[in-house]
Amino acid sequence: MGAHIVTVVAGRAGAGTSTIAANLAVTLARTGGGPVCLVDIDFTAGDIATMFDAEADDDGVPEAHVATRLGRGLYAILAPTVLGDPSRVPERIVSELIASLSTMYAHVVIDAPATINKHVVTALEYSHQQILVTTAERPALRALGRLHDTLDLLNHDHRLRTVVVTRAHPETGLPATDVERAARAPIAAWLPASPDIPVSINAGQPLATVAPDHPFCRPLRDLVP
């Protein structure tokens, strides 16, 4: 089995990458296209365990054979809770992890921190699709532009990139055309702001688990080929 590997990343923290990665993984698992593994490589402050109300190890390094079952067809490699310093995890660990998972699952969804460290670079190199997350404010869009510049420096193909706008609202003061121009790409999905999202996070259940037809969740079905 050769997994379709997706990395979800943003130009700055707080854009909602973990929320999107968690709900995307749930959505993919619900389609029945094969098992899905959600991987948290934010070794400083990973949130995936909290979003699923799951128990993560206090320390150690991630390993493919110790995936946590989150639901039918859905598994996760959770970031250790007290590791703190990403440099303590050798680069080869993440590379070997992703390589192993690619033979075990139909989809691998990687939740990356906004800091482009060696582990994020490794994940992006393995990815068949890079989902770039932004909000529709100018500072976030400038950060997205810097992320594009970094990917260009790394010689990553523009065709791998999918731009998603989260917390979208029609009254941001920026027309959609201006957002697309600043994003340097067509917007693949506009995910609306909703109080249901923090409610689901606080409940430890991603929104796609309890409300798959929610306006936030429906566009996720078309993000991954």
pLDDT higher than threshold 60 for residue 83:
no
The reported pLDDT for the residue numbered 186 is 84
Query: What are the tens digits of pLDDT across the range 24-78?
Result: 999 999 998 899 999 999 988 788 999 999 887 656 566 667 789 999 999 999 9
pLDDT band at 172 (very low <50, low <70, confident <90, very high): low
The reported pLDDT for the residue numbered 76 is 95
Handedness of CA 176, 177, 182, 187 (dihedral sign): positive
- Spacing of C-alpha 69 from chain mean position: 18
| Structural contact between residues 14 and 137, judged by C-beta atoms closer than 8 angstroms | no
The reported pLDDT for the residue numbered 115 is 86
The most confident of 175-179, 185-189, 202-206, by mean pLDDT: 202-206
Domains recognised in the chain with CATH numbers: 4-222 (3.40.50.300)
The reported pLDDT for the residue numbered 82 is 60
Stretch 102-129: mean pLDDT? 95
Exposed/middle/buried for 175, CB within 10 Å: 0-12, 13-18, 19+?
exposed
